[in-house]
Amino acid sequence: MNNIYNKMLDFAKSNIQPYTQKVDEEAKFPVDSFEAIKKDKITGLIVPKEYGGQGLGLEEHTQTVLAFASSCATTGLCYMMHNVATMCIVAFGSDDMKKEYLPKIANGELLLALAFSETGTGTHFYNPEITVSKDGDKLLMNGRKSFVTSALYADFYLVLSNSFDAEGLDNWIIQKDLKGITFEESAWDGLGMRGNASMPMVFNNVDIDISNRVGPAGSGAEQVFNVVAPFFVIGLGAVYTGVALNACNTIIEYSMDRKYSDESALCNIPTVQNHIAEIFTKATSAKHFTLAAAKSGANGDADALAQIISARLNASDMAVEVCNKAMKIGGGTAYAKRITIERLLRDAYAAQVMAPSTDVLSIWLGKALTNQPIP
Ligand SMILES: Cc1cc2nc3c(=O)[nH]c(=O)nc-3n(C[C@H](O)[C@H](O)[C@H](O)COP(=O)(O)OP(=O)(O)OC[C@H]3O[C@@H](n4cnc5c(N)ncnc54)[C@H](O)[C@@H]3O)c2cc1C
CA 323, CA 344: separation in Å to the nearest integer?
7
CA 317, CA 340: separation in Å to the nearest integer?
19
- The answer to whether residue 1 scores a pLDDT higher than 50 is no
Which CATH code, of 3.40.30.10, 1.10.540.10, 3.40.50.10470, 1.10.240.10, is assigned to 3-111?
1.10.540.10
Cα atoms found within 13 Å of the Cα of residue 43, Cβ hemisphere only: 26
Ligand 1 center to 317 CA (angstroms): 16
Q: Which residues in the chain are classed under CATH 1.20.140.10? A: 221-369
**By three-state DSSP, how is residue 52 classified?**
coil
Contact 359 CB / ligand 1 (< 6 Å): yes
pLDDT at 91: 98
Band of pLDDT at residue 19, cut at 50, 70 and 90: very high
pLDDT at 375: 85
Ligand 1 center to 261 CA (angstroms): 48
Measured from the CA of 117, which atom of ligand 1 is nearest?
Answer: 11
CA 307, CA 303: separation in Å to the nearest integer?
6
Contact (CB, 8 A) for 47 and 91: no
Contact 147 CB / ligand 1 (< 6 Å): yes
pLDDT per residue as tens digits for the range 217-228: 999 999 999 999
CA-based angle 215:221:225, to the nearest 5? 105
- The answer to whether residue 187 scores a pLDDT higher than 90 is no
Cα atoms found within 13 Å of the Cα of residue 333, Cβ hemisphere only: 13
pLDDT per residue as tens digits for the range 225-258: 999 999 999 999 999 999 999 999 999 999 999 9
CA 202, CA 175: separation in Å to the nearest integer?
13
Q: Which one of 353, 359, 363 would you pick to mutate in the ligand 1 pocket, going by the greatest count of ligand atoms within 8 A of its CB?
A: 353
User: Which amino acid does the sequence have at 319?
Assistant: A
Among candidate residues 334, 325, 324, 318, the one with its CA nearest the CA of residue 254: 334
Contact 81 CB / ligand 1 (< 6 Å): yes
- Which architecture characterizes domain 221-369 according to CATH? Up-down Bundle (1.20)
What mean pLDDT do residues 299-318 have? Answer: 96
Q: Which residues in the chain are classed under CATH 1.10.540.10? A: 3-111
Write the CATH number of the domain with boundaries 114-216: 2.40.110.10
pLDDT per residue as tens digits for the range 324-355: 999 999 999 999 999 999 999 999 999 999 99
What mean pLDDT do residues 114-126 have? Answer: 95
pLDDT at 66: 98
**By three-state DSSP, how is residue 219 classified?**
strand
CA 187, CA 194: separation in Å to the nearest integer?
10
Band of pLDDT at residue 2, cut at 50, 70 and 90: low
pLDDT per residue as tens digits for the range 263-294: 999 999 999 999 999 999 999 999 999 999 99
Q: Residues in the chain, how many?
A: 375
Contact 362 CB / ligand 1 (< 6 Å): no
What mean pLDDT do residues 32-47 have? Answer: 98
pLDDT at 97: 98
CA 345, CA 352: separation in Å to the nearest integer?
12
Which segments within the chain are labelled E, that is strand? 112-115, 131-135, 138-148, 156-162, 169-175, 181-183, 199-208, 213-214
CA 63, CA 58: separation in Å to the nearest integer?
9
C-alpha 256 chain-centroid distance: 32
- Crossing angle of helices 31-39/3-15, nearest 10°? 140
Ligand 1 center to 5 CA (angstroms): 29
List CB contacts of 65: < 8 A, sequence separation 6 or more: 76, 79, 80, 83, 235, 238, 239, 242
Cis before 270? omega within 30: no
Contact (CB, 8 A) for 290 and 319: no
Residue owning the nearest CA to atom 51 of ligand 1: 354
Contact 80 CB / ligand 1 (< 6 Å): no
What mean pLDDT do residues 294-300 have? Answer: 97
Residue owning the nearest CA to atom 20 of ligand 1: 123
Q: For the chain, what percent of residues have pLDDT higher than 70?
A: 99
Measured from the CA of 149, which atom of ligand 1 is nearest?
Answer: 8
Question: Exposed, middle or buried by CB within 10 Å (0-12, 13-18, 19+), for 331?
Answer: middle
pLDDT at 3: 79
DSSP state of 259: B
Instruction: Look at 106 and 375; give whichever has higher pLDDT.
Output: 106
Measured from the CA of 188, which atom of ligand 1 is nearest?
Answer: 1
